[in-house]
Structure 1
């Protein structure tokens, strides 16, 4: 794996070139070693304070109402039972709306949402809001260690740097949500210095970006059974009297504390809603609860554990004009003993300079087992322009390093401009195609060892039945936010093609009779997206020559080889003309892809084809060899001959024993 991914560099070369090593000063050998300190820590209840911007700009683009929708879902469905929650608002000044309240019942949740802001006005003083959030937490706790601040703003504050040091030394974790295109560019620094999450929501109301951001702020306690899991989050503009419909799959690993939430942005009266569970039970608009505080949200709570299977919904826009309607579904684990299927999405880095590519990752797992065969779609929404949808793959090619490890990957190169981007991942598993894999060590199993000249056997490798683990997994839906990232140096006048095809990392070669068969996964026009123009395949009897001087190696005629779209398995067979195919012949191969702008990929991994013919063992004189057997002597004949010989020997031995016995009697 290291040779394939690191171009045959040694371990020490890789370490020396890593940022962690190159950016660290060497330790002075004359100074004493660092003193080791131990700190005894213990868990405590989750403490969260919402610090929400209510400045004048929050009245634009319906932001204050969208904030209410999203924060309401966070308080009623996302934040865990037993958590302490407070609310602060800020504009030119900051105000404590409610001090920390412990969520011990549904009544506490309902009380908290009455303190969410509904009006906006004034300036933007972000540091004032953060300091007021610290004040709320310190009213109950002597320090801020481990506490969380959820900071949302849509504006800029020239004085943000004045409290950065205070924030860094506070011990609190600050999760930031940037709303709209003018949110302070320094906002993410608060998350960077405190280890918090970063989110970005555009003003595109049919993307659910703000709701997804709040839904992504779950507890970091590690107790997955307490965490809310998002099964669905979709929104679209629906024409007058038209329907929005869909299917949400509730799998066996979830079902407790399940909510179906419908939001709309038109008149206060709700749209016509029909929801049908897997057993045919129907829930209509009258079964949903519309809050007096938020007249554009209808919520249905499923009592007990939701039925496993497909839930179908139909929502009709009965307004006199088109309006955006959304459906959000959340749930929690059905059992403490069975971990739910979870999705964790992120980019390979938080900031990027054009024209460097980025990589999207989504890890789909159930407990410690990877989920294989799922359909994973990533949506990247830029600050300006339309969203980009990409299918992530777990096939060990392109951006994906290891096949079937449950981590689905894809290169991202569709940069629409400078600024923030957000990532959202949608995962769907179908019962007949999805399955659980196994975490496998890269180390080989060693069956035994030698001790003092004696062979000692290790315990046999444990066998795990695939049927046993696959039986626990069926169809499922998941939605997860992957946070935000920032891109700089994108040309304002547009870009030319600057992205070559990605490096091929799964080239394989093998002899098939008198031909050699090469196979690999097709790259794209831009890394692993699109379709390459042609291939350059080289071969050599020297691995080093092929690696160091690829251009000088022997070329193969690939004029008949037309590249397929990215992700397709390629196959190429040929008969070597430049090398004599003899026993012990080893030939090395490498490949590069070229796109329509003549941009060339890196040299692929080097594959080898080796021909080894096992020599026939010489037969002892007088012994029958395979050729003799094949020429006419059947197996039955051999068995009869051997049996006859054995019988003759036994008879001779018996006669000899009898003769000796008679002589002794005389």
Structure 2
């Protein structure tokens, strides 16, 4: 694999990256034009540096000014929280909070290097147009270097990323691609010339070869050479768009519609081959933004309004958890109290991290603290908490009373309430005050996180609401014998409560009897193995025997059985490889059980494969065309794990399993970014009510690999390649938050699911053959039902009117000659088209049609015309004096400066303060001054590789 990273003066591209976790975001609200709740957190891997706090304040203050102007005086950052890791010193002015807030923060400061470029800002987890991403990632290098880092002015950089994170905007600049993936997305063919991808067209500049400095030419296929780039003029008069060339000095606005009524300064370039047009159906940034709740009901403020945010500094402390258990009379049903007791025991004995403070409370018609907060430091502490767990039931249900009881317990120390967790386990609907609604304002104000586990489908429907409002998660246990949720949900709730996180390797249900044993293999990979335990949870644990055989055939016999849990602990560091688990019983009755395997990283601080999951919506309205998207990130540190086998199973349904893909079609926004996705259709559900998805990610055939940076070149510091590295076999499981189904009916659904929109239509070649233009189109096949299966036919349309093919594609001419038959979803398709050369630009789209005639949406628009611009011909290039080209306008100096800057960006390994000094010295050596708005020294560099894995 040869993948190029480009660094070019004033040319902004992207490299997307990823981080280690995806968690429920903290809420952000808008009031009187101001954002409240924006949270910026610093990783505990970053050494203490109080100057970093001021840098963050400087960045966000500058961003608030840019945001206010760019939003037409409708939005600014009103109050912002900066969260420090618990490894930093606590000052009297800092507010103490419980637990780790980093995994829920909107902006995360972390110096763990992206495997490609390391220090490029990006947004992780952006999926659909108009949908927010998961979080923004910034490095301390970028924060201290500021404009000198080469990404633009600090306020502009932050708001560019905010557009991705908050409003679901995509980049309006080009994406460069590896030779062999023939799309010339840096340029598009229109009106006889290759035009650069830009927004707006007011952005002026020139097209050059990034290596030679010569004007661009075309290849024998008629498309621009792969090293051709557009360099925007730094003194261009363009003011839009911040999602495009925000490096231009006067850039300060977002582009608006492409209508003639929009002035040319803001008019969107809907023909440009960028992701904003492809993902957002050629809509401008403002057309997407106006539909966002942030802009509804706002009245523009005064242009002179002071947009400086109010900052609060918080510091993390050890996690505090109140375990809140339902003991009302309904808990006797289906043996729920006993099951809850076993699961809670396992949670306290094996899942909660040392250093965590835990209390236990119960509720029926009233709430009671049955064990005060206790900081866990030994196994005896864990046993003490287990002995306090309730064994009797009775009374009515007041969930509000229980929540208030936990608030009181958690508030018993000087650490404060914010960030503390309540883990609520209940089976019933509220029948007595105080109700959830009565106490929700208290929960919201306190900053306590409420995670909920609903036992059975009769539990109160408000559980999910209070979890979401507090930034927590909600889980659902169906009570089916083959469900593993009772174990999985407790593990998921504490996955991010410690920097030394517990990793769930396997979770599997089984049944056995005297004539039917349970045999299963699990893989302990080379990155984990510390504190490895295998557990069998069963109501009949005294009647079963377990044997675990390691890779070296050692039989592990360190077995402990208590509280319905049989545990095998692998001593020291578990050997990597395959372990054989055998469970038997002498009982003649069928005994159900659950196998759970968990471990920690082999060496603290090292990276390992992790899963994280989120859903497009927490409610699914049952219907013939309804879908919900499940997203699963598979990452090793910052690196995406490719070619992994990822599935999602609806808990309680044997047949309802969907395969997730990372192939860039349908539900998957980008190929090979480590985010796997799939549609869950209505026919996957069998009833109304709550459901839970269990996610499995594994590599059992040694195919999975990660992207890895090659050694940087000292000669060409602006060039770097990527290679791949096998990650070895591994397996992981994780649980999603609950999803609620409404309007279910048992009647057979009609097939109303249409094929997905094709978003990958690209021009491979264009050549003049006599009086004909011969073009080759490439795209990825989509499915019969969105991205599943195989479509039946393709419908190509062509027009010489862009507005017509955009607004009325069905009224355009249909291409019928030699149209290919669709292949399986994800396959590469190719179509040779011959059209008359009449010197007019032609526009082409395609859609897929399924076997019942359902028609997908038309694709992104590809333009083509005869190349008549002499500046792109070889003859014209030969007349150019390359020496003059390099010297003219100090281009040689500019390119050299880019090499030096980007070389520093990529090679820095020392402290960020030294990085900044080096970069400043380089600037001084070139007689340059630090860039400021209005100066001539504003730069932004573009990084890209074949499969755009990260959004910048």
Provide the TM-score with structure 1 as the length reference. 0.81
SS of residue paired to 1:304: coil
- Asked if 1:504 corresponds to 2:735, the answer is no
CA distance in 2 between counterparts of 1:560 and 1:416 reads 40
- Pick the aligned partner of 1:345 from 607, 613, 631: 613
Q: 1:309 to 1:556 in 2, by over 3 A?
A: same
Quote the residue 1:401 is aligned against: 669
Residues 820, 831 of structure 2: 8 Å contact kept:
no
Give the drift of 1:201: 1.3
- Asked if 1:241 corresponds to 2:515, the answer is yes
- Asked if 1:589 corresponds to 2:808, the answer is no
Gaps of at least 5 residues in structure 2 are 1-274, 879-952
- Pick the aligned partner of 2:785 from 516, 526, 534: 526
CA distance in 2 between counterparts of 1:245 and 1:590 reads 53
Give the drift of 1:407: 0.3
- Pick the aligned partner of 2:862 from 599, 602, 607: 607
Give the drift of 1:6: 0.5
Residues 271, 316 of structure 1: 8 Å contact kept:
yes
Quote the residue 2:628 is aligned against: 358
Give the drift of 1:153: 0.7
Quote the residue 1:227 is aligned against: 501
CA distance in 2 between counterparts of 1:256 and 1:199 reads 28
- Pick the aligned partner of 1:15 from 289, 304, 307: 289
Residues 69, 211 of structure 1: 8 Å contact kept:
no
- Greater shift after overlay, 419-428 or 313-322? 313-322
CA distance in 1 between counterparts of 2:344 and 2:505 reads 18
- Asked if 1:549 corresponds to 2:804, the answer is no
Give CA deviations for 1:160-195 in whole Å, capped at 9, x if unaligned.
222222222222111111110101011122212211
Give CA deviations for 1:575-631 in whole Å, capped at 9, x if unaligned.
52xx2269x88654322222344322111122356776997759x9xxxxxxxxxxx
- Asked if 1:213 corresponds to 2:481, the answer is no
Q: 1:2 to 1:95 in 2, by over 3 A?
A: same
Residues 374, 428 of structure 1: 8 Å contact kept:
yes
Give the drift of 1:88: 0.8
Residues 511, 611 of structure 1: 8 Å contact kept:
no
Q: 1:400 to 1:465 in 2, by over 3 A?
A: closer
Bigger Rg, which one: 1
Q: 1:571 to 1:484 in 2, by over 3 A?
A: same
Quote the residue 1:436 is aligned against: 706
- Asked if 1:194 corresponds to 2:448, the answer is no
Quote the residue 1:368 is aligned against: 638
Give the drift of 1:197: 1.2
CA distance in 2 between counterparts of 1:71 and 1:374 reads 32
- Asked if 1:580 corresponds to 2:845, the answer is no
Q: 1:79 to 1:608 in 2, by over 3 A?
A: farther
Residues 199, 484 of structure 1: 8 Å contact kept:
yes
Gaps of at least 5 residues in structure 1 are 441-446, 448-456, 621-666
SS of residue paired to 1:3: helix
Quote the residue 1:635 is aligned against: none
- Greater shift after overlay, 473-482 or 600-609? 600-609
Residues 695, 734 of structure 2: 8 Å contact kept:
yes
- Greater shift after overlay, 161-170 or 40-49? 161-170
How well do the aligned residues superpose, as a CA RMSD in angstroms? 3.1
- Asked if 1:334 corresponds to 2:602, the answer is yes
SS of residue paired to 1:59: helix
Quote the residue 2:337 is aligned against: 64
CA distance in 1 between counterparts of 2:322 and 2:526 reads 33
Residues 764, 778 of structure 2: 8 Å contact kept:
no
Quote the residue 1:478 is aligned against: 732
Give the drift of 1:544: 3.7
Give the drift of 1:516: 4.6
Give the drift of 1:493: 4.5
CA distance in 1 between counterparts of 2:423 and 2:793 reads 50
Give the drift of 1:209: 1.2
CA distance in 2 between counterparts of 1:214 and 1:408 reads 24
Quote the residue 1:256 is aligned against: 530
CA distance in 2 between counterparts of 1:101 and 1:616 reads 77
Give the drift of 1:18: 2.1
Residues 481, 592 of structure 2: 8 Å contact kept:
yes
CA distance in 2 between counterparts of 1:438 and 1:120 reads 56
- Asked if 1:489 corresponds to 2:746, the answer is no
Give the drift of 1:424: 1.4
Residues 491, 504 of structure 2: 8 Å contact kept:
yes
- Pick the aligned partner of 1:466 from 719, 723, 729: 723
- Pick the aligned partner of 1:289 from 546, 560, 569: 560
Give CA deviations for 1:16-59 in whole Å, capped at 9, x if unaligned.
1223323x523432895466322221111100010011222222
CA distance in 1 between counterparts of 2:592 and 2:692 reads 20
Q: 1:34 to 1:568 in 2, by over 3 A?
A: closer
Quote the residue 1:165 is aligned against: 441
- Greater shift after overlay, 347-356 or 4-13? 347-356
Report 1:283-322 matches (<5 A): 283-284=556-557, 287-291=558-562, 294=563, 296-322=564-590
CA distance in 2 between counterparts of 1:109 and 1:117 reads 15
Residues 686, 746 of structure 2: 8 Å contact kept:
no
CA distance in 2 between counterparts of 1:593 and 1:137 reads 57
CA distance in 2 between counterparts of 1:520 and 1:35 reads 47
Residues 556, 570 of structure 2: 8 Å contact kept:
no
Q: 1:421 to 1:20 in 2, by over 3 A?
A: farther
Residues 52, 152 of structure 1: 8 Å contact kept:
yes
Higher relative contact order (CA 8 A, sep 6+): 2
Provide the TM-score with structure 2 as the length reference. 0.58
CA distance in 2 between counterparts of 1:534 and 1:107 reads 67
Residues 667, 787 of structure 2: 8 Å contact kept:
yes
- Pick the aligned partner of 1:29 from 302, 319, 330: 302
Residues 85, 101 of structure 1: 8 Å contact kept:
yes
- Greater shift after overlay, 256-265 or 601-610? 601-610
CA distance in 2 between counterparts of 1:366 and 1:168 reads 34
Q: 1:205 to 1:27 in 2, by over 3 A?
A: farther
Quote the residue 1:426 is aligned against: 696
Residues 709, 720 of structure 2: 8 Å contact kept:
no
Give CA deviations for 1:474-497 in whole Å, capped at 9, x if unaligned.
211100111112233344655433
- Pick the aligned partner of 1:412 from 658, 680, 698: 680
SS of residue paired to 1:303: coil
Tell me which protein shows more strand as a share of its residues.
Answer: 1
Give CA deviations for 1:378-415 in whole Å, capped at 9, x if unaligned.
11237xx6662111110101100011110001111234
CA distance in 1 between counterparts of 2:585 and 2:501 reads 33
Quote the residue 2:829 is aligned against: 571
CA distance in 1 between counterparts of 2:317 and 2:457 reads 37
CA distance in 1 between counterparts of 2:717 and 2:840 reads 36
CA distance in 2 between counterparts of 1:458 and 1:587 reads 44
Residues 255, 308 of structure 1: 8 Å contact kept:
yes
Q: 1:464 to 1:279 in 2, by over 3 A?
A: farther
CA distance in 2 between counterparts of 1:26 and 1:420 reads 40
Quote the residue 1:155 is aligned against: 428
SS of residue paired to 1:437: strand
- Pick the aligned partner of 1:180 from 456, 466, 484: 456
Residues 52, 90 of structure 1: 8 Å contact kept:
yes
